[in-house]
Amino acid sequence: MLSIEDQNFISNEMSISLASISSKLSEHALFPYRDHLESAIAFFISSIRAQNKSGYLFCVGSFQLSPAQVQINNYSAELSENLADTEALPILDSLRHAFFSFARNGLHELFTCQENEEWYPKVILSKELRPNDISELPSLVTLYRGTDIAEHNSSSYGQSWTTCKEIAYFFAFEYYVGQPSFDVGKRVILKTKITKEHVYFSNQTGEFEVVIDVGKILHVEVV
């Protein structure tokens, strides 16, 4: 079991939902490997804490791995040999990627570089993430999201939306093709509007992403 200190680090420093990790590690198929995965998480956190204590500062533009990144990769490589050909291996890799990203440049790197094609620790923003380009958004922002109709039916919306309808279409009908759970008949594009004051992050390049406080959503329609 993760220590209270490690749980607090995951929740407060990394803005990761503990429930997303706990529910995954509690799956029957992962039961034999849970101790290994929790030990890995504890080691990752210890490495990051030691790096922070040493006064390490991220250098923009540098391709050199941070001390914690090196330790995280080495530990994961060794553990991967023991978990080869098991269902725990992809979970270890997702955890490694999340902590590796955080070790480089904190929450900004973790959030913007997260990989959600398969299972990944759920990052939930609760405050503004900087740097961003929120100032470039209009006062009332029109947003789109490509997702499964179940999300709309449950009104349990994700935080990441886009100002570009074409990008939402890509995530709705193309990005996840090939995954076992993909059902084109259940994929939809959602549309909402929200005031700029309820935006936590914006990057109006690439995916034209806008991350919002979902508790402030008043109305959502299926396009």
In angstroms, how far is the first alpha carbon of the chain from the final one?
44
pLDDT: is 12 or 180 the higher one? 12
Neighbour count for residue 111 (Cβ, 10 Å) = 22
Distant-in-sequence, close-in-space partners of 158: CB < 8 Å, separation ≥ 6 = 145, 147, 151, 214
Hey, what are 185's tokens? 């008949």
pLDDT digits (tens, 9 = 90+) for 188-212: 999 999 999 999 999 999 899 999 9
Average pLDDT over residues 83-89: 96
Q: Where are the domains of the chain?
A: 4-112, 134-222
Average pLDDT over residues 167-174: 96
pLDDT digits (tens, 9 = 90+) for 103-123: 999 999 999 999 887 899 999
> Quick check: pTM over 0.85?
yes
pLDDT value, residue 36: 98
Give the CA radius of gyration of the chain.
19
pLDDT value, residue 179: 82
